[in-house]
Amino acid sequence: MKTTNESVNPAKKYPVPPFPKQQQETPGTENQLEPKADHGEESYKGSGKLTGKKAVITGGDSGIGKAIAIAFAREGADVLISYLSSEEDNDAKKTAAFVEKAGGKAVLVRGDIREESHCQHIIDTAVAEFGQVDILINNAAFQMGRDTLQEIPAEEWRRTFDTNITAMFYLCKAAEPHMKPGSSIINTASVNSYSPSPVLLHYAATKGAIQNFTANLAQMLLMQGKGIRVNAVAPGPIWTPLIPSTMPEPENFGKDTPMGRPGQPVEVAPAYVFLASEEASYIAGATIPVAGGRITI
């Protein structure tokens, strides 16, 4: 990948499918991903957009969350990285190392955000370590591809909703009392909010709910005079460990986009930086699509 200011055909900027055949157990890890994902480790350059800010990122160990953590740190923020399980410890520590190398403070919190008490613990830890919460990134998600309605177990349906939307409610509720005017909540929606995939019924349903939750909460907090902006980012197919651990035929993932390839996490992170920054001070209740040309209207 080129890192200069030279213009590059976006369809050819990153690896194009087919990729090597691969499958992982959920939740998936970075070291088994082939080709490796780009989180901006070498390419993302900060410019002080988030200097002094304190951020909480769920699902910050890998994928989009990792790219956000790296970008935020290079923009001057301290970062709490929330992640699920011990299988992700190594990925989380590597992400924390990038944050610290950029000069930021990194705090790791492991646990299941489906539990309201754990969501409260995440926010309490951020307040104890940072003194405040300026940015909340609700990014963690669960999905599983299923071809038919009958194949979806009830437990899996509940897990998807509890992880993707109910936890978002818990975290926003816990964080709001600690967020001063000018703070920002950014939720990860999806291109599935607009064009749901037939094999992602439960996941797509939660992403539609996130879209509505974002728009509604944005109005609520502003009309109450809180001065907290709420927005969302809607990624298209992005190459992360979630894909080979939950999707059939990951070797062809993203091939059906107009760009003919999946996006890389580093291509999504700048949207979160923008929405969290003062440059987006008049943007609330909005969703920025990062979808490789997929239509989101």
Residues with a known catalytic role = 203
Which residues are CB-neighbours of 36 under 8 A, at least 6 positions away? 30
**Contact yes or no for 70/39 (Cβ under 8 A):** yes
**Contact yes or no for 171/125 (Cβ under 8 A):** no
Dihedral of the CA atoms 200, 203, 206, 208 (nearest 10)? -40
Cα–Cα distance, 80 to 123 (Å, whole number)? 9
3-class SS of residue 47: coil
Burial of 275 by CB count in 10 Å (0-12 exposed, 13-18 middle, 19+ buried)?
Answer: buried
Q: Dihedrals φ, ψ of 215, to 5°?
A: -65, -40
Dihedral of the CA atoms 145, 161, 73, 43 (nearest 10)? 20
Which residues are CB-neighbours of 220 under 8 A, at least 6 positions away? none
